[in-house]
Homo-oligomer: A and B are copies of this chain.
């Protein structure tokens, strides 16, 4: 197992890595994404798995016949995660789950395990939404939670639509949309993921089981001003939206602190963004998450009121509770692994909301840092994660 893990990890390490930052730029439907998908297809083929690409572009590598299992009333077990990244993301967020799932298949095949139901390794497309702004686009599309026409029309920073990007990557765009046949094949889904916080550091454990995904959303705040000369316009004659941006940033932090939430302004667009011009417009994106919907909504309202800007909701994910009997079973199986809530969205959460029995395993992150080039997990903890996922897979496909 360790051999195949190390080999796979080395194979994908250079793909989409930006030399200047050390971070990854693997955005959906780009050449970098295509290289990751080709690598996945090759790994499936090498193991004799049947590769299926669904209507949204998610890749499924099946060990066994998924449709016979559906017909017999006991559909398959799916393990895996995603291979795309945020801008300058780390190596682990996503790929650790896919590589671990492939390593599980190797381990089970090596010990001549005979699954009682088909097993798939999945690579969900466009989990991060880094390019088109909607996270978990692949799982949302197949479960009908993202309208296909809306998706096709989403534009990246260069004005390229998702439809154009899919087309350029060779994916047939006309059939993108709900894919009931694919969803019906998922009897259960377990996603292994690097932890994106410090929970396991404090607990002193290598692996945890996911309990809930806290409610979270994204809002866009447009702040209008009046473009003018930076040198010759008196302060009293200015309508400078940069001052409103300062209010947004500070209001978000203050309201999050008051409500027990987290709030982040991580993306800003300034027009025209000239050193000697007062901006005509500043757009800020607010990411807010918290223990409950009321708290998160209070943060967003406070930011809008205090900045004078209008917060337009771009996405909203209510609290998602993972399948409780499944989570309990996983925890018991894994030496009473601790349960962890998370404020990060995942494809497992989208599937859970769609009625799929879904669960997650988290692998310890020794710094708590994620969405960063320095994101890390110790090799020994990664191997513990694969051991745990192997045990879970054996249990659920015995």
A residues adjacent to B (C-beta < 8 A): 21, 23, 86-89, 128-130, 133, 135, 195-198, 214, 216, 218, 226-235, 237, 240, 242-243, 245-247, 249-250, 253, 256-257, 262, 264-268, 270-280, 285, 287, 289, 342-345, 368-374
A231 lies within 8 A of B343 (CB): yes
Q: Which residues of B contact A270 (CB under 8 A)?
A: 266-268
Q: Which of B133, B196, B243 contacts A231 (CB 8 A)?
A: B196
Bound CA–CA A253/B234 (angstroms): 11
Closest chain-B Cβ to A274's Cβ sits at a distance in Å of 5
Q: Which of B237, B250, B345 contacts A243 (CB 8 A)?
A: B250
Q: Which residues of B contact A234 (CB under 8 A)?
A: 197-198, 262
B230 lies within 8 A of A266 (CB): yes
A371 lies within 8 A of B276 (CB): yes
**Central interface residue in A88, A237, A266, A278, by most chain B CB within 10 Å:** A266
A88 lies within 8 A of B369 (CB): no
What 10 A-B pairs come out closest when comparing CB atoms?
A227-B372, A87-B272, A230-B264, A196-B232, A231-B343, A246-B246, A197-B232, A246-B249, A229-B370, A88-B272
Closest to A374 in B: B227
A249 lies within 8 A of B253 (CB): no
A226 lies within 8 A of B278 (CB): no
A88-B274, A130-B274 known; 5 new pairs, CB 8 Å cut-off, are A86-B272, A227-B373, A240-B264, A245-B246, A266-B277
A-B contact pairs, 27 of them (CB 8 A): A21-B272, A86-B274, A133-B275, A196-B229, A197-B232, A197-B233, A198-B237, A216-B231, A227-B369, A229-B371, A229-B372, A230-B262, A232-B344, A235-B257, A235-B262, A242-B249, A242-B264, A242-B265, A242-B268, A243-B249, A246-B250, A266-B273, A266-B276, A266-B279, A267-B270, A267-B274, A275-B287
Closest chain-B Cβ to A161's Cβ sits at a distance in Å of 17
Q: Which residues of B contact A274 (CB under 8 A)?
A: 86-88, 130, 266-267, 371
A86 lies within 8 A of B276 (CB): yes
**Central interface residue in A228, A231, A372, by most chain B CB within 10 Å:** A231
Copies in the complex: 2
Q: Which of B228, B265, B369 contacts A228 (CB 8 A)?
A: B369
Q: Which residues of B contact A253 (CB under 8 A)?
A: 235, 240, 243
B88 lies within 8 A of A372 (CB): no
Bound CA–CA A89/B273 (angstroms): 12
A87 lies within 8 A of B232 (CB): no
Bound CA–CA A129/B249 (angstroms): 30
Closest to A93 in B: B229
Q: Which residues of B contact A280 (CB under 8 A)?
A: 21, 88, 372
A275 lies within 8 A of B268 (CB): no
A368 lies within 8 A of B237 (CB): yes
**Central interface residue in A253, A267, A271, by most chain B CB within 10 Å:** A267
Q: Which residues of B contact A262 (CB under 8 A)?
A: 230-235
Bound CA–CA A21/B242 (angstroms): 19
Closest to A367 in B: B228
Bound CA–CA A218/B23 (angstroms): 31
Q: Which residues of B contact A343 (CB under 8 A)?
A: 231-232
Bound CA–CA A134/B213 (angstroms): 49
Bound CA–CA A348/B374 (angstroms): 50
Bound CA–CA A264/B234 (angstroms): 11
